[in-house]
Structure 1
Amino acid sequence: MIENEKLLKINTVKDRLKGDTLIAAHHYQNPEIVKCADLVGDSYKLAHLISKSSARNIILCGVNFMAESAAILAREDQKIFIPDSDALCPMAEMADIKVVEKVYEMLRSRYNIDLVPVVYVNSYIDLKNFVGREGGSTCTSSNAKIILQYYLKKNKKILFLPDYFLGANTANAIKDVNARKIIENGEIEDFDNDYVKEINIFLWDGFCPIHQQFTLNDILVLRKNYPEIKVIVHPESKEEVVNNSDYYGSTEYIYDMIKKSKKGSVWGVGTEGTFVQRLALENPDKKVIPLKDARCFNMAKINLDKLLDTLQAISDNKAEKYQVKVENNLKINASKALNKMIEIVESSRI
């Protein structure tokens, strides 16, 4: 079946479901998936808008933790589906809950500090459950600064996980904040008591394999070839990459910046390659160049065939294998962590 036929079949099955099914796609999805989506956005936009959707069936085209987050926020009458449950996120695998709890308790007991955990949404429900239980919040790349500032203003010290680079780059953007890595390759750092007093944010050592591919040299080469270029990168990138870019921000921020930029502008973009390719296609009046063509193969696991199979299974009431379910005992506190994020962010806009 060629692409147009698949798209037609997908729309036919969607129509059969009488508008009761929402297809949500992350920005990193392939263009053909984006064409089918009712909602496209970054992690925060998807989490926020899906939670407000009236649809009873929601298909999340993204990686597993995104579908899991949607399931945490879902109403009792909603079901969340993912076309491929093997679409994992390596970063989400980098913070084992047992190690996290050990480090958290060690920091509190050894140093007697008022500590709160903040977890990037690129994580699984066990971490979100822990964070909600301990009175913390999730965050995304679009709101990490707002979330960290919220707790810092309350004179809290923060354990930020799992992404070291998002934590470090966000801390760098906040004045007079001292952030230090607390764990390195599974080994817990041992700090002097007096030194701990000066640390505001303790950082985990996780990272995104895609965004770690971008280098300072990538930027320098583009600036040499295109003197007028503006470089915009994702904050999961290395500190030297962020520090030498013109702008940095979430996927949604990057999308909006380029979309609203003037005709003829030239952009060097440091984020997932499929998304950068779509940016170039959607902005033909601008020149959009990737710092490096770095693709997320997990995002690419979602394709039209799998989406069609998922829709057909929902239509036939045989979609059990695509449904994302979460344990109720974990969902309660995990939803607290996600809703705390939404509460902090939305109240900051008033």
Structure 2
Amino acid sequence: MNPTDISRHPALEIACDESGWEGSNFAAANSDVIAYASVRLSVDDAEACVRLLRGRTERQHHEFKAGHLIRNTDGAGLAAFLGQDGPVHGRARVHLTHKSCFIIGRVLDIFLGDFADTVSLGLRPDPRLAAQATALCRSGQEIFGRDRWQAFLSATNLVLRENRHPKVHGPVDAFFDQVDALRATVGTTADGWLAGLLGDLADARPGGYAARIRLIENHVLQPVLEPLLPALARTVLHWSAGTQPIAIVHDEQSALTERRIQRLEHVLAEPPLELIRPPAQGRFLQFRQTDSRTEPRVQVADVLAGVTRKIASGGPLRSSHPELSELIQPYLDPASCWCAWPADRAV
């Protein structure tokens, strides 16, 4: 297939929305999960889906949300929505981001990985650092204790944030002080991988200021604390298979600016990734934001994202209806930034 052929293919329209995004303070968030859902539905099918989900709810004239479905139905109702005979089965995808895993991965990326993960939109992370981030996130609280671990996560979040009046030295010093505190906590009893990782981080302190400056200078187009961009990149690749132009209809989201969308397309198309084949004319990735209250396809994506996030987060819903964990499996992006449980255990 040559670029001219690709340009003749009509764009595949996908509706997207997220659940769990609360801003850049990941360490103190109410939810530990972000779910980014995409659905391939016609407007008519989406409207029919929303009518089905509403049932006899009293909120007929308001936007239907995941919370309404969870409150107004039992496990059987959720199972009907997610199951093989449900309205979105085989026509939807969900990318999960575990917030602690994300910020740990990104802090290793900027101090040890030369921004490889950030620059590639999460598509080409350093495998060794990605594995270490997962291992550290899974075991950190158990090894270091809740207070020490939370202090480390807070310092990690702070050093990654680009505030209105960003500082360089203070956040970097605070982060590496926490690294030293973790090393002192475990002493010589740390496992080999953990001692090695903390040692590598401690050794990175001299270059910490330069990494922080780079983060600040590039934050507009390469934001290190923006998980929706990797989620969107994975979504585009899933639905397009690298050749089918995509038109995204998205709920209003300030983080997804036109400049960032253009950069996303450029990164996917150009070396070293070259994961999509742009058309001879026009854009491979079209992006339109809309008010979800007037777009039923986005409402369905929002419901799917919210339901999946609630199930993945655990708590009473999953405890009461453990079968729901199995039902969300077909929807999940296997490349999700997820480390809440070992890989051989279902979400």
Whether TM-score is above 0.5 comes out as no
Larger fraction in helix: 2
Greater relative contact order (Cα < 8 A, sep 6+):
2
- Bigger strand share: 1
Give the TM-score, by structure 2 length. 0.27
Q: TM-score, normalised by structure 1?
A: 0.27
